[in-house]
Structure 1
Amino acid sequence: MPRSTCLAAMPWQAIESPSLPLGLLRACCAAEGLPVPRAYHGGLRLTEFLMTATDGELGAADYTDVAENGLFHGLGDWVFTGVLHDDPDFGVTALDDYLTRHSVDVERARKIRPYAAEFVELAAAEILDGAPDTVGFSTTFMQNVPSLAVARRIKQLAPEVAIVFGGGNCDGDMGIALHRNYRFVDYVVRGEGEVAFPALLRALEGEVPFADVPGLCWWDGDTRRVNATQRHPVPPGRIPVPDFDDWFAHLDASPVRSHVEPKLVVETARGCWWGEAHHCTFCGLNGTLMEFRSKSPDRVLDELAHLVSRHQVLDVITVDNIIDNNYFRTVLPRIAELGWDLRVHYELKSNLKPAEIEVLRRAGVAHVQPGIESLVSPVLKMMDKGVSGLRNVRSLRDCESNGLTVSWNWLYGFPGETAAEYADVVRQLPALCHLQPPSAAGRILLERFSPYYDNPALGFPERSSADLYAHVYRLPEAEKADLVYLFDTPDRGLSEAEAAELVALVHAWHDLYPDSYLRRLDEDGAVVLQDRRVGWPHEDVVIEDPDLVAAYRELEQGRTLPALLRRLGDAGRHPDPDDLRAWLDALLSRGLVFAEADGYLALATTAAPVKVG
């Protein structure tokens, strides 16, 4: 009789969307002729459990707060670490010490933690209720400790059950360290699971040797074995359409359903085409799998149509680290032709062209994450982003004109950056209050797999596991150094005192944005700049001179003064250079253009989109 398998996605998987790894592995097993694993949706179950145990005092909002805001402080892992270590007080003092150095709201995590032990018992019992021979845990970011706590309890209750771990937290040395430190974990799959996981299930059936499963960490008696990872990345054709049926069935029957709007999770590409040639110095998100691979346009359309029609959900989150640029000509126009009322999220490069933003809008892409990271060109060069600060501002402006929601963070703390390089840009931030602000301005973290991590000579030779892990793991530093994703280093670049003005202005930007707009109107050959930004004179600035109207149009692309004069000359216009410079200086002092590195960019949008404060 074939082995029975249960796959588990423990907290803190988002409760508004299914686990893509579980959906993919279920589909892989079906394609391989293996029994389709049962799925256990630990995030939904914890939310349901909290709603019942507290008579509604704790629920979806509390879960989501920890899931979305606790990552860089280890709060989700902290909730469960006392259970993992059989010590209700473990991590409490360490967290208190951590809070003396970091301003973090931990109220919701503190309220949830007393229920962790009972939930672990519940989850272990419910998983075992299906009598699985194998239980696989998919773990990324804050899923490690909850998964380990439940896996440990399953092993205590049913020692014969094979425990398997895989996912982003198991990539490279992290998977080896996890297997080495937690003996109740029988197998760890490092790397992509589409090939390795079905191979492991066949090995458990005795059909193939464990030594042939790519990337597998396993126990050969008392000897720990580590197999080489798969030589080539999984090609797009081997990535199946995920099976989310069980998640939607669970959600539809759950009291959580009335608290969330479900979203589909799709994957149209893996890896990063920019990172293959220019790995952003701070980024570790692709792990050991940088090679870019994208699905064919037909495959993307078929998969999207299948999932949308099957689950009747129009909100779609693509998990790609970067969009395939060919999709602007192939996939997105075809989605627009379908006439669906989709709301799609995509990550992409920030040097967007107006025509590309229009294609995104027509296809129903409502939310983008363009990897802006900064508006300071010398710092962007240190990141190897391949874009200027002025171009990033242009993308913010054009996304605002087209009603696209933009998510981005302002990063500082790069080796070699100076306060002087920030000064001109920081001084102009109040003029940008009508454009979408960064979520926050914060110091970069040293991430495993990033160039800064892999090459200490780039500026971070001293490192240790981030201090957040002191309230998460009871392990020596040498083991944490292999297990964790984030590291502490001495500060580089801006000091905290030097960054204080930037941080304060970003906070102010958030406050001003909902009530601000700066819009360009065309009236009888003139350009009218309708300024309604908070903190600036509310007036209509009228540009009537034909030479200046033409100059303003050129500034919408971003031009240096020499380039502006050349473009105007090509059009048969020859304004006096000194007069033109004086006009540019007047626009700059009035906050109507952004200037950096001798370039000028018009800041007015072509629309005043509806804003939600």
Structure 2
Amino acid sequence: MKSISLVSAPWPLYNRPSIQLGALKAYLDKNLPEIKTHAHYLYLTFAARLGYALYETISTGMWRAEVPFAALLFPEKKDEAARFLATRLKGTPFYRSLDPASLSGRLTEISRCLLDEIKWDDYLMVGISACLGQLTSSIYFAYEIRKRAPDSIIVLGGSACAGKMGLSIVKTFPVIDCVVNGEGERPLLALIQQATEGRKPASTPLKGVVTRQTKPEEIDAAQISDLDTLPLPDFSEYFRDLASLEAKKHFIPRLPIEASRGCWWKGASRSSLPAKTQRGCAFCNLNLQWSGYRAKSTGKIRQEIYALALRHRTLSMSFMDNSIPYTKDVRLFEEISSIGVDLRLFCEIRAGVSLGVLKSMARAGVHEVQAGIEALSTSLLKKLNKGTTALDNIELMRNCESLETMSLNGNLIMEFPLSDQKDVDETLRTMDFSFPFLPPKGISFWLGFGSPAWSNPMAFNITRTGNHPFYRHLFPKKVLAGLVLMIQGYRADKSLQKKLWAPVRKKLAQWAESYDSLHTGRLHEPILSHQDGGGFLIIRQRRPGNAHMIHRLEGASRRIYLFCESQRSLSEILGFSDGIAHDKVLAFLRMMEDKRLMFSEGDRYLALSLKAGGCRGLK
């Protein structure tokens, strides 16, 4: 009986196996043990042969990643694609040294060698995973595999072909027999069972499968209701391929971990967005492939982490979730801590995670978090429907800064079409208080297909949408006309937004420079820290150029300040300071704010300094 092939083409991160291939292979092996499933991590071999540094440079830029194989797919676009690639390489080590023609030659040669090593006509079906930055490479390999296996069924799936995007792809590229919409386990299983009976994908409609005959309103998905029933992902072929490389190319990979699917905030949020606009963050299109939200149990997550660590002898892992579940309490992280090994974990979180939970995460081995900061203006956060406030974000930044073993990455979205002067003024004010903490990365707003802003553009001051103009450098005009793609262009008052946000960009650069200058040398203290003397508190405020300031708080002032290490309402503070005149408490709070030692929003206050030396221990 013929086998099944699962393929991941360039350009995923080379140092971790594909969660899509690992999960699908394990599921198919469990449910179709009589049919062999092989996973082909083509991107790993490409990375090794191109060189890891060059591969990483290309793979970490979405537009850079789509260019090289577009030039191979459409030779008539190679010169234009080469010029475009040069613009996207600015600021990288390969800006002047990389010759696009030479790169195309190397990719062609590596592709030919890889493809010729595999007997493609042994496969009944080839499933190709296409996520961000993988569309052109996936289509290219589909055509090359078709040349070698004209009778194999070629299926595309992944976030790059969710919904109407997938329908446009299957209609535009005849080499693709069908597209899986949403998660792939159940649809792919049904497709294989259908194929073993000699039936083609379009012969009988299948839930979650999109063919050229599918109407837009007929696009649906077939999901696993209970994620605890899924088998442990199988990454064995990634590690086999890694072991086959020459010794100097070996490395210890990071493993992907999946704790949930979908976005709990999208389902739980009380939308602050305009009427007739879908829920979730206004800019986000990360969950198009899922309907609703599901999470594995804490015990299941613990079991998978432990089993994968033992099987693959590695301790570095990344949660692939858009926002890791169970951040309202410590259950998950206590489970992980109980494994008793020194893990190094990455995960994505939302603001609102308490310091207690962050400490539990750190004890479990979380060394890096990506937080959905997005804005330092509460009015803008409301327009983005984040469900958080500037104060929430400042508190998260402060708490992560206090944990010496955990680094925080976050983005600051600028030039959102609904932004106004109030949003910018609030952002600039908040930044005045944020200088002691690691600055977020400033990014310009981009419009994602399927996001609330795309779905209801007029509500966001967007007058027209369509595929991003950059795609013109990659696809011929006739091909592009039939495609619906992930990054969308739009018309709005972009010049006004750039002008509005110019002061924020300037101040963000100053913030980064200030933070870096105060964190030079082998040892450094927090920029804003305190030492507790029992009856008094010493606060040290470090500034660039050695213009440091020292503050001392005595008695009640010390107690109130420490009480506000987590955000407190004015009524809570007044209740805590019972016996002290309210006007004196208010005067103290104003003084702390004037000195940038506390931040307030509405009637809520937060002390900003960290315990000197960080959170010594994580108890």
Q: TM-score, normalised by structure 2?
A: 0.87
Alignment of structure 1 residues 110-509 onto 2, 5 Å: 110=99, 112-128=103-119, 131-206=122-197, 210=201, 211-218=204-211, 228-230=219-221, 234-255=225-246, 258=249, 260-278=251-269, 279-325=280-326, 328-403=329-404, 404-438=406-440, 440-459=441-460, 460-476=462-478, 479=481, 482-491=484-493, 495-509=497-511
CA shift in 2, pair 1:420/1:109, >3 Å = farther
Give the corresponding residue for 2:534.
524
2:598 and 2:432 mapped to 1: Cα distance? 12
| 1:556 counterpart = 2:565 | yes
- Residue by residue over 1:249-282, the C-alpha shift from the partner in whole angstroms, topping out at 9 and shown as x without a partner, is 2113324875744101010111111111321111
How many Å separate the matches in 2 of 1:381 and 1:153? 48
The match for 2:607 is 602
Alignment counterpart, residue 568 of structure 1, candidates 577, 597, 601:
577
Instruction: Give yes or no for contact 1:233–1:289 (8 Å, CA) kept in 2.
Output: no
Q: Show the counterpart of 2:40.
A: 40
Letter in 2 for 1:20: I
Shift of 1:145: 0.5
* CA gap 1:224/1:538 in 2 versus in 1, 3 angstroms: closer
Unaligned runs of 5+ in 2: 270-279, 520-526
Distance across 1 between alignment mates of 2:366 and 2:591: 37
Aligned partners of 1:109 and 1:206: how far apart in 2?
49
Contact 2:183 2:223 in 1 (8 A): no
Q: Distance in 2 between matches of 1:163 and 1:7?
A: 10
For the structure 1 residues 103 and 601, does the alpha-carbon distance in structure 2 shift closer, same or farther, using more than 3 Å as the test? farther
Distance 1:307 1:37, change over 3 A: same
Deviation, 1:188, is 1.6
Q: In the alignment, which residue of structure 2 is the partner of 1:21?
A: 20
Return 188-197 or 250-259, whichever deviates more: 250-259
Aligned partner of 2:74 among 72, 85, 90? 85
CA contact 1:593–1:600 (8 Å) conserved in 2: yes
Question: SS in structure 2 opposite 1:164?
Answer: strand
Deviations 1:410-468 (A, max 9, x none): 01233432223332441452542331211x21221111221111122321231121122
2:299 touches 2:335 (CA, 8 Å); kept in 1? Answer: no
Decide whether the 8 Å contact of 2:161 with 2:169 is kept in 1.
yes
Q: Secondary structure at the match of 1:370?
A: strand
Alignment-mate amino acid for residue 407 of structure 2: T
% identity of equivalent residues: 26
The residue identity in structure 2 corresponding to 1:216 is: V
Deviations 1:377-426 (A, max 9, x none): 11111111111101110111111112321111001233432223332441
Return the alpha-carbon distance in structure 1 between the equivalents of residues 546 and 485 of structure 2. 51
Q: Which amino acid aligns with 2:55?
A: Y
Superposed structure 1 runs of 4+ greater than 6 Å apart: 96-99, 223-227
Distance 1:96 1:312 in 2: 38
User: 1: CA distance between counterparts of 2:18 and 2:242?
Assistant: 13
Q: Show CA shifts across 1:511-553 (max 9, x none).
A: 3324252212111321111223436732432212x12112212
Closer, same or farther in 2 for the Cα pair 1:84/1:535, shift >3 Å?
A: same
Query: C-alpha displacement at 1:326, in angstroms?
Result: 6.8
The equivalent residue for 1:592 is 597
Q: How far does residue 15 in structure 1 lie from its aligned partner after superposition?
A: 0.8
Between the aligned partners of 2:98 and 2:30, the Cα distance in structure 1 is: 40
The change in CA–CA distance for 1:230 and 1:498 in structure 2 (over 3 A counts) is: closer
1:400 maps to a residue whose letter is E
- Give the TM-score normalised by the residue count of structure 1: 0.88
Rate the CA distance shift 1:424–1:225 in 2: closer, same or farther, 3 A: closer
**Contact 1:464 1:477 (C-alpha < 8 Å) held by counterparts:** no
The residue matched to 1:529 in structure 2 has which SS? Answer: strand
Q: Which range moves more in the overlay, 199-208 or 351-360?
A: 199-208
Aligned Cα RMSD in Å? 2.8
Greater mean alpha carbon deviation, residues 320-329 or residues 306-315: 320-329
2:274 paired residue number: none
- State the shift of 1:560 in Å: 5.4
Which letter maps to 2:364?
Answer: A
Q: What per-residue deviation string (whole Å, max 9, x for no partner) do you get for residues 278-320 of structure 1?
A: 2111111001424110112221121111111111111111111
Find out whether 1:60 has 2:62 as its counterpart.
Answer: no
Which is worse superposed, 498-507 or 266-275? 498-507
Distance apart, 1:565 and its partner CA: 2.8
Moved more, 283-292 or 75-84: 283-292
Compared CA separation, residues 34 and 507, structure 1 to 2 (3 A): farther
Deviation at 1:201, TM superposition (A): 1.3
Q: Is residue 199–residue 208 contact of structure 1 (8 Å, CA) maintained in 2?
A: no
| Secondary structure of the structure 1 residue equivalent to 2:410 | coil
Match of 1:55 in 2: none
The answer to whether the Cα contact below 8 Å between 1:98 and 1:467 also exists between their aligned partners in 2 is no
The worse-fitting range, judged by mean Cα deviation, of 397-406 and 252-261 is 252-261
SS of residue paired to 2:577: helix
